Amino acid sequence: MTFSLLSRLPLRWLAACGVSLAVASNAFAHATPTSRDPAPDAEVAAPSAVTIHFSEPLEPAFSKLALVDADDKPAAPAASQVDPQDTKTMHLALQPLAPGRYTVQWTAVAEDGHRTKGSYAFSVK
């Protein structure tokens, strides 16, 4: 009887470890950018919006985009929005931008509550 209990222990242990790893990988999901428009370091004509697509669905109430100019002053008066049809996408509408360098600052909170943030720059011709 002792032998049969020990022979099943490794399988149960492996199964428990497998389940733990699967749960842990979902729990540590972070929303990271998969594409950005304008792209990082791009030189573009004045864009009408900044759009970032993320790897995970976002919590609209806690996710945002901001745009600042070279003097670190806000360059977009409107608030950003998570797309209601595609919650992995966030937009920031822009008024016409003067030539210069701009920095996009983003904060993304995934539906599981994990927060990521970052920034990147682009230039307007």
- Supply the DSSP string of 8-34, one letter for each residue: HHHHHHHHHHHHHHHHHHHHT----EE
Can you give the pLDDT at residue 25? 41
Rounded Cα gap, residues 98 and 46, in angstroms: 7
Do 2 and 60 lie in a common domain?
A: no
Residue 42's domain is classified under what CATH number? 2.60.40.1220
Can you give the pLDDT at residue 12? 55
What is the number of structural domains in the chain? Answer: 2
Do 65 and 107 lie in a common domain?
A: yes
Do 69 and 116 lie in a common domain?
A: yes
Can you give the pLDDT at residue 10? 59
Do 69 and 112 lie in a common domain?
A: yes
Residue 33 has pLDDT above 50, yes or no: yes
Do 66 and 5 lie in a common domain?
A: no
Is 0.85 surpassed by the pTM of this model?
A: no
pLDDT bracket for residue 47 (50, 70, 90): very high
Do 77 and 101 lie in a common domain?
A: yes
Do 14 and 46 lie in a common domain?
A: no
For residue 21, the enclosing domain spans 1-30
Do 38 and 2 lie in a common domain?
A: no
pLDDT bracket for residue 121 (50, 70, 90): very high
Can you give the pLDDT at residue 49? 97
Rounded Cα gap, residues 89 and 57, in angstroms: 8
Residue 76 has pLDDT above 70, yes or no: yes
Do 20 and 58 lie in a common domain?
A: no
> Got the DSSP string for 62-114?
T-EEEEE-TTS-B---SPPEE-SS-TTEEEEE-PPPPSEEEEEEEEEEBTTS-
